[in-house]
Amino acid sequence: MARCHVSVQHADFDFATELGWLGDGSGAVASFIGRVRDDTRDGVPLTAMTLEHYPGMTERVLEELAQAVAARFALDGVLVLHRVGRLLPGEQIVLVVATAPHRHAALQAVDCLMDHLKSVAPFWKCEEYGAARHWVDARDSDQAALARWGAL
């Protein structure tokens, strides 16, 4: 059974510290760190992004995703850390790490988890461009990326 750790938090994270949680017994470690984009809308730079969630429910969904992906790809370990609150451009939002006996499974697992986080996980994003605020709608491209994995 894979070790799975999920955290939804306001605080930033340190990759090396978080990686230590998974141990060093696997042949492969794959990871993804997502950051707030330095984006523009109608020529106005992004000031901040606020991520909201339902405490309790969000963690349950992330745990279910982590367990399902760990089983599907025969992983040794999964770490999903997602930040919430107000974040500035360049700040870290998400860390996903998968450990496995071989690289192919670890790399696919990280990709699969990210597609599910973008489409299934109960997070809501509000972008700030100067004084204007804009809630981010679901994107067709995210749903298309999710579809390639089929059911977990």
Q: What pLDDT is stored for residue 23 in this prediction? A: 75
| Residue 142 CB neighbours (<10 A) | 16
Residue 25 predicted with pLDDT over 90: no
Q: Please report, as a single letter, which amino acid is at residue 63.
A: E
Length of the chain: 152
Q: Where are the domains of the chain?
A: 3-147
CA–CA dist 96, 102 (Å, integer): 17
**Which one is predicted more confidently, 1 or 69?**
69
Exposure letters 31-61 (e unless 16+ CB within 10 A, then b): beeeebeeeeeeeeebebbebebeeeebbeb
pLDDT tens digits for 79-134?
999 999 999 999 999 999 999 999 999 999 999 999 999 999 999 999 999 999 99
pLDDT tens digits for 32-87?
999 999 989 989 999 999 999 999 999 999 999 999 999 999 999 999 999 999 99
- The architecture in CATH of the region 3-147 reads Alpha-Beta Complex (3.90)
